[in-house]
Amino acid sequence: MYRAPVEDIAFTLKQVAGLKPALDAGTFGDLGEDIVDAILAEAGRFASEEIAPLYKIGDEQGAVLKDASVTTPPGWKELYRRWIEGGWNALSGPEEFGGQGLPTMLGVAALEMWNSAAMAFGIGPTLTMGAVEALDKHASEALKQKYLAKLVSGEWMGTMNLTEPQAGSDLAALRSRAEPVGDGTYRIFGQKIFITYGEHDFTDNIVHLVLARLPDAPAGTRGISLFLVPKFFVNDDGSLGARNDVFCSGIEHKLGIHASPTCTMIYGDGFQGAAPGAIGWLIGEENKGLACMFTMMNNARLAVGMQGVAVAETATQKAIAYANERRQGKASDYSGAGMAPIVHHPDVQRNLLTMQALTQIARAISYSCAHALDRARVGEGEAAANWRDRANLLTPLAKAFSTDIGVEVASLGVQVHGGMGFIEETGAAALYRDARIAPIYEGTNGIQAIDLVFRKLPLGGGEHVHRYIGELKAVADGVRTSNIEGFGRTADNLDRALADLDEATRFLQKLIADGKADAAMAGATPYLRLISLAAGGAYLAQGGLADRGRIPLCRFFAENLLGETRALKERVIDGAESLAAAGKALITP
Active site residues: 442
> Count of alpha carbons within 13 Å of 273, Cβ hemisphere only?
1
Can you tell me the distance from the alpha carbon of 226 to that of 188, in angstroms, rounded to the nearest whole number? 11
Give the three-class secondary structure for 490. helix
CB 298 within 8 A of CB 377: no
Q: How many CB atoms lie within 10 A of CB 303?
A: 26
Pick from 134, 129, 135, 69: nearest CA to 99: 129
CB 139 within 8 A of CB 284: yes
Give the three-class secondary structure for 340. coil
When computed from its CA atoms, the radius of gyration of the chain, rounded to whole angstroms, is 24
Can you tell me the distance from the alpha carbon of 296 to that of 281, in angstroms, rounded to the nearest whole number? 17
For the chain, give percent helix, strand, coil, nearest 5: 60, 10, 25
Query: What angle do helix axes 104-117 and 33-46 make, rounded to 10 degrees?
Result: 20
Q: How many CB atoms lie within 10 A of CB 573?
A: 18
CB 245 within 8 A of CB 279: yes
Residue 125 DSSP symbol:
H
Give the three-class secondary structure for 2. coil
* DSSP H/E element including 19: helix 19-24
For residue 209, what are the β-bridge partners?
Answer: 160, 228
Can you tell me the distance from the alpha carbon of 489 to that of 510, in angstroms, rounded to the nearest whole number? 32
